[in-house]
Structure 1
């Protein structure tokens, strides 16, 4: 007998001194456990002395449900109790005893059921019996049931029941009696019956006792068994097996978090995540390569220099890092996918209780505990909880004691199991392993294919860029040769000499010569001045020492500002000189396109812009040295090609080829930007999925 019981009894029997009584009442004011025991003691005494309490007591407790599958035996009497001794004193009251006997017969509830069908019965005070088909061992279809329940002190006394187990007093959470009859004869159970007893609070230490009646009619409560909470199964696909931060992350990012087809597909795509690529960086070179402006390299297609330019393209590839930010020992999505299907509907995996545990296991840096549950589907859930808690003794783990205590907390809830057929555990385990391997392999193949696709697109872009670099190099080199030839020919004309770009200078009429030695190749004197002016695209004036005549080369600036340029993804400005075989792409300085016009040439300007894949176009004829503000207008691809075909064949073909490449670059830029966004998105989702402390 515990101290509280003794104190309560002395208090109720007025056996305390004034000081003891005052101290007891002070404790009673703050001690909730003492208050509950006091209330129960008063209720028992009151029930014994006034057996005519109203039936409303039978409706007092209906909040939470404790469930237990009973063992197979005939007449069933049960008490849900814990072996904590509760003392009470009763005074002899013959009138009350007589009243109790009269009330006992009224407490019996009778039902008639079809033994061939599943049946649910609820008593007046809320005890629920789940009776499966053919639960009673009889050939008859109809079974008469007698059920008695006693959930409070009044009903316990009213039914003449005790709360003793081998002379030790028990604290009870309720008692019930059930028996089946066919033609007035009791029939035993052939199957377990599920019973749910209502309770204000669930005490995990409660046990189920069998009631054994002795020859005097007294009941002794024996054979205590832990009370398992009956698990309700759901359609497993309706449960939430995602990591706890996954859906909130999708919601925060504005994704379709309520579309399960999308959320499943995305989540499963993270199988094998640590081995998936992530974008590190992308270094893009300007496809319009600027040729080195030194020496006479402009005049020869130097293969060494061209190779150096092409080698620089290595920087323009997308580089992938294998992510090492997240531990590879977390719960792989393929594991979840392997059992998150209706094949596991009739297991404890399809319960809210397991859903809660899985949410917790997602936060751990291991799938070890999840595998324990998957390999023990034939056990009650709390037994697997116990395995998880005890496994810390056999694991080399740095996990905190808090993890162990969490599984102990789960175990103390006594969440039961779901009965599965013999051999089903092995079948489900085999099925799980096959599916897990299949899903994991499929995910790996998908990512290998995806990587191959990225590599292929990168190779295509690399080939196109190399081709464009060669074209740019060749065009720029040829343009320079042609422009220098035109400049130097005109300069010699101005000083009275004929000039041939192929045969250089004709012999002068003078018979006198300057004799000197040279240490470098290339044009000298007038040629060098013209060369320098052509390279720098600057005007020059040269006075010939022999003839006294002056030669001038004139360059004047032109600029183009494109209205609303910011709304376009790409804007290109071309100059079309009448005396060159190809175009000149105008460089952009800030928000303005600028170039120097050669006074020997006539120019037209062409503007091509893109917004997405929509082309815009404008053509400016008779370009002069001034500042232009131009507007472009949308055109079809056919109209654009037609507009670009109005020049000589070589110019038109070169111009169309360059515009096509620029369109490719525009599309490639869009692809790379989207790829970068996708990878950044996946990094954010990965951080929500793999959250066991974040890093390895």
Structure 2
């Protein structure tokens, strides 16, 4: 074995250009005449590539140091040795397996590309065994049963690979993981005793693994199938015993194997290991693989449009809170989504078998009908009823399909297909081609206006993103990736393809999806080339889930729209209440200010008239004659106007009559500095007097509240503030012009009511209380409106992400055009 390693080392040095010039020339001379050496060089090239992909280039350089020949032999017995074609690794978890391919090499060491096969991959691999042989397996297996001429009963590899032993109970489902990361799912009743009865007890389950090139070389495992070299990245061996007695695997129980891998090669096949007389393994009987998918918790997948959560976070919300992001996302269900049928339709047809002169012909009953895409993949299957009719549901429009019926026409008969569109009108009649197929091009236009077309509705996502779809194709990382491309198509029929065909492998649906939307054709063709399979699911469950999806997406759309409508109605109701209160308050303030002005105007007129001894007509009390003194030189009209302007502007009146008499009413400023005013949610400073009709609200500039005082009127100032529900107050009695500093103190509601009564006249008391009540309402209502506007802006930012094809312009803040300053 060591000489073999030395030989491999020389080949590797040659490939890495590490030989001296003399040694290199000697090696190449031998290479030119030695066919076996040429094959070994070609094989070593593949090994080096595998090592480089696995990031262990340094390991091969230290192979001699790491090589450790095991001394304990192993009896191969009835164990299973399995070779996995995984030039690189692809890791899936929870009862899955993913394998690559054996690619054949020609005589010159060049890889021969295998033809595409629709069943060449398996993520989830099933191992089935029979009593004496291991012919039917989910991955390549060989159950040793030697002939009389066998020279060896033990594979050489057993001596060089360490055993990993697991003790399991045969009556329970068990998951085990090896040191190199292979995960086996072993169902209960998986083992049989020598009498082929199900064994019930403790089992010693043995695993040997060689998943990287170094372990494969150390074990001396063959990578040949006859005269052909194979590209491989790993192999493993299984055996089961109980109390030292050999067990076999139950063909009715499927063992699942999951092998780590980094990439998927769609050309992989399965090989049986044949034990040769010299103890080596020859890999024979290549078989195609159906690649099963690994379902995970569907609630842990991300079904949001790309960038949704990041955008939510960037806009100041918790994008990591699924409860919030779900609730928000589903509210984006469009108002007309219930009537939005997308681009999918039902294809109804009828097959008739008739003589050339016979019309309309006899219906063909109970015959299988297949729908194929242009790649030849079967997309849907159904049967004709007694009248020859068949139906295919959720078919995307504007796609070429082939409809095929599984029968040979009788001699002298012709087979015809009638295709029906809406209202059961015949849209086409096709004659059967020589290969027995019919080509039908749907010509049904979408009933959805493109300008109002939303695409994938959140209610559609809500219908599938739940526990009902656990353990289906949708509960996989593969679907999560496809969904992001589906969003870009803005075509809900694309989503229906995957939801309505849960019994089909993904690659078949991918091939159809690639034909539907040319904008994303490359992406779906890439998915198709992966040959992703499906999750094993009951056909009956699949049908029920399809029905569930149809019912729930409509139900959710209705429920979400009803909720949105209720929310909108409530906000409209609150807006109406707010608008009414605002109008009422504005009218009351206007009337209050007018009454204050009129009362103070009459007061100022009385004072001004007295200063010039002017008595207007009708002024005075009692009855009798009055004398008008026209000698004072007073322009009455101008005089009254000056008084009115001074009162309205709250500015000093300085007026001189023609006779030189002076009239003066002075207004002087007052400024109240409210200490720590920023801490309060709302703050009011009132000016009140017995000579006023009601209060005057002081003007605010930051923490300074100001007004002008009529020198002839005695005023009180009352300051009231709120921080949450806590009231604060401060009062100044008989305030004088100038500057005041007010430090508000906490006060109870009762104490505040009492203070208002003391400081304010009767009319002002009621008005101030009303003003405080409205202020509380306005604070809350402004917060509500601001929240609505922020949410409208927030939703406007998210809309292009959720509906990338929506052309309708979303106006920011459109939900609250009446928001007040």
Would you say same fold, with TM above 0.5? yes
Instruction: Give the aligned partner of residue 303 of structure 2.
Output: 241
Please list the CA deviations of residues 20-74 of structure 1 after superposition, one character each: whole Å capped at 9, or x if unmatched: 99xx9xxx99x965955999xxxxxxxxxxxxx9569999989654246469885
Instruction: Give the match's secondary structure for 1:645.
Output: helix
Query: What pairs up with 1:180-199 in 2 under 5 angstroms?
Result: 189-190=251-252, 194-195=256-257
> Which of 653, 661, 668 matches 2:766?
653
Instruction: Give the aligned partner of residue 617 of structure 1.
Output: 729
Instruction: Give the match's secondary structure for 1:533.
Output: helix
Instruction: Give the aligned partner of residue 310 of structure 1.
Output: none
> Which of 124, 130, 134 matches 1:76?
134
Judged with a 3 Å threshold, the aligned counterparts in structure 2 of structure 1 residues 687 and 616 are, in CA distance, closer, same or farther, namely farther
Judged with a 3 Å threshold, the aligned counterparts in structure 2 of structure 1 residues 483 and 348 are, in CA distance, closer, same or farther, namely same
Query: What pairs up with 1:32-111 in 2 under 5 angstroms?
Result: 33=46, 36=49, 64=90, 65-66=98-99, 67=123, 69=125, 75-77=133-135, 101-102=151-152, 104=154
Paired residues of 2:507 and 2:533 also in contact (CA < 8 A): yes
Deviation at 1:237, TM superposition (A): 2.2
Judged with a 3 Å threshold, the aligned counterparts in structure 2 of structure 1 residues 103 and 599 are, in CA distance, closer, same or farther, namely same
Instruction: Give the aligned partner of residue 479 of structure 1.
Output: 596
Higher relative contact order (CA 8 A, sep 6+): 1
Question: 2-side partners of 1:498 and 1:150: how far apart?
Answer: 121
Instruction: Give the match's secondary structure for 2:474.
Output: helix
Paired residues of 1:116 and 1:141 also in contact (CA < 8 A): no
- Higher helix proportion (structure 1 or 2): 1
Judged with a 3 Å threshold, the aligned counterparts in structure 2 of structure 1 residues 544 and 383 are, in CA distance, closer, same or farther, namely same
Question: 1-side partners of 2:698 and 2:206: how far apart?
Answer: 100
Question: 1-side partners of 2:269 and 2:588: how far apart?
Answer: 87
> Which of 694, 701, 717 matches 1:605?
717
Paired residues of 1:163 and 1:171 also in contact (CA < 8 A): no
Instruction: Give the aligned partner of residue 383 of structure 1.
Output: 508
Q: Unpaired segments of 5 or more residues in structure 2?
A: 1-13, 16-24, 53-67, 74-80, 91-97, 100-122, 141-147, 276-280, 338-450, 810-821
Question: 1-side partners of 2:732 and 2:51: how far apart?
Answer: 101
Question: 1-side partners of 2:135 and 2:234: how far apart?
Answer: 11
Query: What pairs up with 1:164-183 in 2 under 5 angstroms?
Result: 164=226, 171=231
> Which of 210, 225, 233 matches 1:163?
225
Structural RMSD (CA): 5.6
Instruction: Give the aligned partner of residue 495 of structure 1.
Output: 612
Query: What pairs up with 1:466-545 in 2 under 5 angstroms?
Result: 466-499=583-616, 509=627, 524-545=637-658
Instruction: Give the aligned partner of residue 90 of structure 1.
Output: none
Greater shift, 192-201 or 440-449, is seen at: 192-201
Matched, 1:415 2:569: no
Question: 1-side partners of 2:618 and 2:692: how far apart?
Answer: 15
Paired residues of 1:101 and 1:159 also in contact (CA < 8 A): no
Instruction: Give the aligned partner of residue 372 of structure 2.
Output: none
Query: What pairs up with 1:307-318 in 2 under 5 angstroms?
Result: none
Please list the CA deviations of residues 202-250 of structure 1 after superposition, one character each: whole Å capped at 9, or x if unmatched: 532112357999xxxx98955742451x323223223333344344445
Question: 1-side partners of 2:223 and 2:647: how far apart?
Answer: 117
Please list the CA deviations of residues 605-645 of structure 1 after superposition, one character each: whole Å capped at 9, or x if unmatched: 12222334433211111122222222222222222222212
Please list the CA deviations of residues 441-479 of structure 1 after superposition, one character each: whole Å capped at 9, or x if unmatched: 222122211112211221111111111111112111112
Instruction: Give the match's secondary structure for 1:560.
Output: strand
Matched, 1:352 2:477: yes
Matched, 1:404 2:404: no
Instruction: Give the aligned partner of residue 378 of structure 2.
Output: none
Paired residues of 1:558 and 1:594 also in contact (CA < 8 A): yes
Deviation at 1:548, TM superposition (A): 6.3
Judged with a 3 Å threshold, the aligned counterparts in structure 2 of structure 1 residues 676 and 649 are, in CA distance, closer, same or farther, namely same
Paired residues of 2:507 and 2:530 also in contact (CA < 8 A): yes
Tell me the matched-pair count: 583
Judged with a 3 Å threshold, the aligned counterparts in structure 2 of structure 1 residues 573 and 526 are, in CA distance, closer, same or farther, namely same
Paired residues of 1:613 and 1:663 also in contact (CA < 8 A): no
Question: 1-side partners of 2:464 and 2:805: how far apart?
Answer: 22
Deviation at 1:100, TM superposition (A): 9.1
Instruction: Give the match's secondary structure for 1:524.
Output: helix
Judged with a 3 Å threshold, the aligned counterparts in structure 2 of structure 1 residues 433 and 602 are, in CA distance, closer, same or farther, namely same
Matched, 1:430 2:547: yes
Judged with a 3 Å threshold, the aligned counterparts in structure 2 of structure 1 residues 579 and 426 are, in CA distance, closer, same or farther, namely same
